[in-house]
Amino acid sequence: MNEGAHDRHDIEAFVTRVMSHADELYRDFTWRTTTDPYAIWLSEVMLQQTQVVRVISYFDRWMRRFPTVDALASASTSDVLESWQGLGYNRRALMLKRAAEIISTHYDGIFPDTYAELVTLPGIGPATAAGILAFAFNTPAPYLETNVRTVVLHELFPDETDVSDRDVRLIVEQASEASAEAGIDPRRWNYALLDYGAWLKKTFSNPSRRSKHHTRQSTFEGSRRQKRAALLRLVLDTPGLSADAYADLSGYDPEIVADILADLTTERFLRNIDDRYQVD
């Protein structure tokens, strides 16, 4: 057995330890009271790189404004981006909109329920697809995200450094199978992983730092990412101006503004009509 490998007994013991904390650490969120795949998908996307406390209010407001995948598909891009403001990483909102259009058009508004179909949709990668399968359809799926990684590293790699995601994913896959064989439904198993991981992060030094996958997030203040978000906000608030006008309003260098607006146009956040920018 290679160093760091774990046998069946280790995996079964891991499942038992995680489940021993399930009731005590369970967190009650709005998106956990539904099996609507649209709502589950939205929560999974919002929770990417965003603190839970911020997502709670945004999730409820979004669901009131766009209650179904068809409602999101038929909404204007400007309304979607407006509702997303404050969550950051605006590309996520654009991918939500594009995927909703595909689901509404090609699936008659019925959310696909297989991994193969889900990962073909814009913005849905392996973790998001697994989350949808587990939480909406109660289907076993190897769900690997930051809290889950934290649990695996803390419990099964306590003395190792530079643990690869390949090793972590193997544990997640084996534990998913073992938990299902033990009669634990996938929804409950993955909530237990998430809640235990969130507790560990508050209680111990972040064990995810031992992962090769872990990277420190770059500073937002003064970054190009901040400027992108600010310029998109300006276009939403005051559409139809030129790049020079947005440079004046923002106080940013005109060349940087022109470059960012060009990128946002290429990425289909904006439209450029006669050198005037607007959101669809």
pLDDT digits (tens, 9 = 90+) for 201-248: 988 766 565 656 655 555 666 788 888 888 888 888 888 888 888 888
Which residue in the block uniquely carries the two structure tokens 């507790």?
199
pLDDT, one tens digit per residue, over 61-102 is: 999 999 999 999 999 999 999 999 989 888 999 999 999 999
How far does Cα 40 stand from its chain's mean position? Answer: 11
Catalytic residue set: 44
C-alpha torsion angle, residues 149, 150, 154, 155 (rounded to 10): -50
Which residue in the block uniquely carries the two structure tokens 């950051």?
88
User: Do 118 and 112 contact (CB within 8 A), yes or no?
Assistant: yes
Token readout for 249 is 């309003």
pTM, rounded to two decimals: 0.78
User: Do 203 and 154 contact (CB within 8 A), yes or no?
Assistant: no
